[in-house]
Amino acid sequence: MGRLLLRTAAIAGVVVLALVLWVVIARPVSMFLDRFRTAEIESHPILALGFDIRDSATGSIQLDDRPMSLMPANDQLLPLHVEISESGDFAVMAGPSSITLGHAKQSSVDPNIFSVKPAAADRTVFRIGRSMMSWPTPLAFNFMTGHSPSWKRHNYYELVWQKQNGSRLKMVWRYEQYFYDSWASGFMVRDGITGLIRAEIRP
């Protein structure tokens, strides 16, 4: 009887240890797998890229009706800057690299807002995907509402804008998505993990 109890306790201990280990490593494992594949939610060309000059300090752009931050997720990525030249050209810059997307048009409703539309020969795509694997959050607790997510996963947003001359802009964002009774908005942030994770400009 004693051996049976010891064996049962040992098995229970192994199961508990495995569960604790899973809670600890599930997020980094999910992020590692995301490097190779994500589940696509939607994909379509963009109609316009907008910029509010009042946001120049914080840095954000508008992809159709979706605001996206230009702040890097970590200090390993060069920050992006958007600039509208005196001649009205709409350019995106990262360090010494830059790409001119087209001529900016000022909004007739708000003079602080400018937008640029892809030229007929440009190729654009905006993809939204999610992690193939979510992870449990049994230790999470919200002191404000008392209602915490039971699962989390990452959502990925990718913009590719290629000009006729071969120059290309590629940007990838990563944000967290929480699960309560259903999956909530996919724009939750976490320091050092979420935000702009990739920015490539090919002249």
| Of the listed ranges 33-42, 88-97, 145-154, 155-164, the one predicted with least confidence | 145-154
Considering only residues 145 and 74, tell me which one the structure prediction assigns the higher pLDDT.
74
Among the residue ranges 29-38, 42-51, 170-179, 183-192, the one predicted with the least confidence is: 183-192
pTM, entire model: 0.85
pLDDT tens per residue, range 113-141: 889 999 999 999 999 999 998 888 766 55
What is the average pLDDT value for the chain, to the nearest integer? 84
User: pLDDT band for position 162 (50/70/90)?
Assistant: very high
- CB-based contact 91:102 (threshold 8 Å): no
Indicate the length of the chain as a whole number: 203
CA dihedral 145, 149, 152, 154 (to 10 degrees): -30
Specify the 3-state DSSP secondary structure of 136.
strand
**Higher-confidence residue: 146 or 4?**
4
What residue type is assigned to position 27 of the chain?
R
Looking up tokens 């944000």 gives 175
Count of structural domains, the chain: 1
- Band of the pLDDT at 177, cuts 50, 70, 90? very high
Task: Supply the DSSP string of 60-104, one letter for each residue.
Answer: EEEETTEEEE--BSSTTSPPEEEEE-TT-EEEEEETTEEEEEEE-
What is the span of the domain harbouring residue 12?
Answer: 2-202
Q: What is the pLDDT of residues 35-91, one digit of tens each?
A: 999 999 999 999 999 988 776 555 788 999 889 988 888 877 877 888 888 888 999
Question: Given the structure tokens 């190779």, which residue do they identify?
Answer: 36
Phi (first) and psi of residue 162, to 5 degrees: -115, 130
